[in-house]
Amino acid sequence: MVERVVLAYSGGLDTSVGIGWIAEATGAEVIACAVDVGQDGEDLDVIRERALACGAVEAEVADAREEFADDYCLPALKANAMYMDRYPLVSALSRPVIVKHLVAAAKKHNATIVAHGCTGKGNDQVRFEVGIQNLAPDLKCLAPVRDLALTRDKAIEYAEKHDLPIDVNKKSPYSIDQNVWGKAVETGFLEDIWNSPIEDLYTYSQDPTINRPVDEVVISFNQGKPVAIDGKPVTMLEAIQIMNARAGAQGVGRIDIVEDRLVGIKSREVYEAPGAMALIIAHQELMNVTVERDLARFTRQSEQRWGELVYDGLWFSPLRRALSTFFDEVNSVVTGDIRMSLNGGRAWVTGRKSPESLYDFDMATYDTGDTFDQSLAKGFVDIWGLPSKIAARRDLR
């Protein structure tokens, strides 16, 4: 029986050529699998037809948008997940859901190999392969660009020679990955880290320096999940889409960072994630209002760890899953409304309201009606500072 390979197919040059390239190198039949995670590019039927025209024996298209929003973006929001405090894990979050669909397609078509178009220098190869090994240890992995020496020049030559239905001139000088949670752009002139990003790179957000009126929005959360915008009920996917449009129109969520890849390289990345950033800022502030101090402090460390695990391709690991259970528990009180302003590339909170609020006006006020007994503070301060006071006295000697 001929071996079968499921290829993670994007419709671009590398994976289109990859179909024939893999077939020739391995003698296997290739099944192309495209997963819609809200990348909003070409029509998926067009992508499907292209895969078949490039020699795939079958082509699968999966609409994973709701699933991606509910099962991947929402856990990230509950964890306020930002790698290196800045990057909301756009690409890193999409890999595990794509892996799920690749593994399902492999089962369905009796494939023994799963292939992807990643290079050997990035994080995504790790995320795909560790994910595949975690979900289906029997499947083998293949990366034609990395393992079968499919370079860009060879890909163009191959596409022209075989008259494949791809416009090789349309290939952008950048490596772009996008989904509903955001967009990542790398390579090209950005590899000189002194070069400023140009306006052309951005498609999710408008130029933040342009003057425009402030947009004010109220986001309602239920247990950490955005459930309404300006009072109108939304799904998680809609919440991201609406906030992409509204925060994007105000230039929110542009990120330019030199980032530590898992493979040890530092790389320059330009991201835009207007919806993700606005939602995270709102969610963080609602946590400030509703989560008890020690839990909040502890949570912040775990948020960082969660982000690193997901960045490092360990979505399916026991620690990532256990931490998500912890964040579900933390988020059980993260219910209420956040009012925020969007303008000039910033999203900032201007009001909060919550049935779970720990903010006690009578405790906090400096006006009359204060219920906080200030006389208790004096003894507290003395005893709180005692250990370091004793140590300081010794050090003075």
Of residues 73 and 291, the one with the C-beta less far from ligand ARG = 73
Catalytic site includes residue 124: yes
Pick 188 or 344: Cβ nearer ligand ARG: 188
Spatial separation of the C-alpha atoms in residues 358 and 254, rounded to whole Å? 33
Report helix, strand or coil for 205.
coil
Rounded to a whole number of angstroms, the minimum distance from the CB of residue 323 to ligand ARG is: 19
Q: How far is the CB of 175 from ligand ARG (least distance, A)?
A: 4
Label residue 248 left, alpha or beta by phi (over 0 means left) and psi (-120 to 50 means alpha): alpha
Contacts of 228 (CB under 8 A, 6+ apart): 219, 220, 234
Shortest reach from residue 8's CB to ligand ARG, in Å: 12
Choose between 60 and 177: whose C-beta lies nearer to ligand ARG: 177
Which of 10, 65, 124, 267 is catalytic? The answer is 124
Task: Identify whether 95 is a catalytic site residue.
Answer: yes
Measured distance CA(302)–CA(305) in Å, rounded: 5
Determine the Cα–Cα distance for residues 75 and 307; give it in Å rounded to an integer: 11
Known catalytic membership, residue 91: no
DSSP string of 150-179, one letter each residue: --HHHHHHHHHHTT-S--GGG--SSEEEEE
The one catalytic residue in 48, 95, 127, 254 is 95
- DSSP secondary structure, 20-49, as one string: HHHHHHH--EEEEEEEESS---S-HHHHHH
269 vs 272, which CB is nearer to ligand ARG?
A: 269
Nearer Cβ to ligand ARG, position 80 or 123? 123
| Minimum gap (Å) between residue 199 Cβ and ligand ARG | 19
Spot the catalytic one: 4, 14, 36, 177.
Answer: 14
Q: For residue 157, how many other CB atoms are within 10 A of its CB? A: 13
Which is nearer to ligand ARG, 184 or 247 (by Cβ)?
A: 184
Q: How far is the CB of 155 from ligand ARG (least distance, A)?
A: 15
Whole-number Å distance between alpha carbons of 55 and 18 = 10
354 is catalytic: no
The edge-to-edge listing of strands for the beta sheet with 182-186 is 175-179, 182-186, 266-272, 254-260
Q: How far apart are CA 179 and CA 38, in angstroms?
A: 5
Provide, rounded to whole angstroms, the least separation between the CB of residue 262 and ligand ARG. 8
Is 302 buried (19+), middle (13-18) or exposed (0-12) by CB count in 10 A?
A: middle
* Closer residue to ligand ARG in complex, CB, 15/123: 123
> Can you tell me the distance from the alpha carbon of 329 to that of 281, in angstroms, rounded to the nearest whole number?
20
Residues at the site binding ligand ARG, with contacts judged by CB under 6 A: 91-92, 123-124, 175-177, 184, 186, 259, 269
Q: Are 2 and 28 spatial neighbours (Cβ–Cβ below 8 Å)?
A: yes
Tell me how far, at minimum, the Cβ of 33 lies from ligand ARG, in Å.
Answer: 17
Residue tagged active-site, from 70, 146, 147, 175: 175
Q: How far apart are CA 371 and CA 389, in angstroms?
A: 30
The residues annotated as belonging to the active site are: 14, 95, 124, 175
